[in-house]
A and B are shown apart, each in its own frame.
Chain A
Amino acid sequence: AQTVTQSQPEMSVQEAETVTLSCTYDTSESDYYLFWYKQPPSRQMILVIRQEAYKQQNATENRFSVNFQKAAKSFSLKISDSQLGDAAMYFCAYRSPNTGNQFYFGTGTSLTVIP
């Protein structure tokens, strides 16, 4: 099974500042998908951003962007202009094309936004 590692259990950021959450993964596959999900206190999992491995261009969704380094197997999430509503658990996930859309999740990073 693929392994997804989030080495930062907790992070904090000042409101309006920028924060980067790290994620690394282990795989021998060349084609796959990577995701960042947000889980606020309501515990509803929300898709933040996704990246297809065959695309070299980093995905961007408004204030959220990723730094995808395929050779290094790294997939970090950058949140710009942090807002109080960004406070949540963030999970990095890997999807293999060979396991029926099964996702492998990291252990999560708890993000605190300081007003």
Chain B
Amino acid sequence: GAVVSQHPSWVICKSGTSVKIECRSLDFQATTMFWYRQFPKQSLMLMATSNEGSKATYEQGVEKDKFLINHASLTLSTLTVTSAHPEDSSFYICSASGTGMLAKNIQYFGAGTRLSVL
């Protein structure tokens, strides 16, 4: 299957700082990328959907000014958690889907990023 790389895998930051998480599709063009948040032992909660070159569409209740998403190319999307606070501590996962036989109609997932805000 297709490969999605997510970096960093774990980040610790001080309250009030911003953190950027990168999501890259390595062997296909990701026309759409998704960002999820997952709490321990729970399912994935969709935060936003981004299409290459367009503004992200945020789910209800997700603050777009706090969670900035950029999808400037067909292989890279970034999630920036601005002015992070302890309640933003969580596991963030990206996924990507695209065109072609490899990634059409399927979401391939990154390995996730564990964010700990002190």
Binding site for B on A (CB under 8 A): 33, 35, 37, 42-47, 50, 91, 93, 95, 100-103, 105-108, 110
Binding site for A on B (CB under 8 A): 1, 32, 34, 38, 41-44, 46, 49, 51, 91, 93, 95, 97, 105-109, 111-112
Task: Decide yes or no: A103 and B107 within 8 Å by CB, A43-B112, A47-B1, A91-B43 being known contacts.
Answer: yes
Is B43 in contact with A47, judged by CB distance below 8 angstroms? no
Give the secondary structure class of B's interface. strand
Tell me how far the C-beta of A56 lies from the nearest C-beta in chain B, rounded to whole angstroms. 18
Is B32 in contact with A106, judged by CB distance below 8 angstroms? no
Is A47 in contact with B108, judged by CB distance below 8 angstroms? yes
A32, closest chain B residue (CB): B105
B95, closest chain A residue (CB): A45
Q: How far is the CA of A85 from the CA of B72 in the complex (A)?
A: 37
Is B112 in contact with A100, judged by CB distance below 8 angstroms? no
